[in-house]
A and B are shown apart, each in its own frame.
Chain A
Amino acid sequence: AQSVSQHNHHVILSEAASLELGCNYSYGGTVNLFWYVQYPGQHLQLLLKYFSGDPLVKGIKGFEAEFIKSKFSFNLRKPSVQWSDTAEYFCAVNTKAAGNKLTFGGGTRVLVKP
């Protein structure tokens, strides 16, 4: 069965700082990878996704993620964060073998100080 781990539970940084959130998955076959974001009081929204092709994926709001197959990683990055990026970020994976269900990491709470 696949699993997902996110290395940081909480991240605090100042506006304009760069952000990188780690995500590793365990599964030996083909995976689809996702980053979802949950802003305070709002529902989960998709930031970006990787199915195939270019391993560097660009999403909404200036976020990007890089799929490194050899490291089973899909880290999320943003060069310069804003206060409005304060949210909880979830990495998720699904596989054809396991059907369509998403397996989520534990989430990372990001607080951006103005």
Chain B
Amino acid sequence: QVRLQESGPGLVKPSQTLSLTCTVSGGSVSTGTYYWGWVRQPAGKGLEYIGRIYTSGINNYNPSLKSRVTVSLDTSKNHFSLKVDSVTAADTAVYYCARVDYSDSNAFDIWGQGTMVTISS
């Protein structure tokens, strides 16, 4: 059973970099027909796609966030990461990591529980 778990600071100062990690257990981030993605949800708002990375290392990002976002893979630690630069209060949200099996559903089928990140001084 593959499980995902987000981790990282719950509070980040404005203009700094938000960094989160998603640890994968029960499976490998470097094999299979998967990509690994990030989705966020500000309080009272809907889901917003942030970006993803394939096991090959190829990325795809939400155009509205592309200039500030990096998703990377660390196969040695079996996790993938998210960095958002120059954060503002608008980046305050619950951040989810999730998996897509693109040989099957092509949708986000496994999700982490989510981690709340607040941007405040």
A and B pair up: no
**Taking beta carbons and an 8 Å cutoff, which residues of A are in contact with B?**
none
**Taking beta carbons and an 8 Å cutoff, which residues of B are in contact with A?**
none
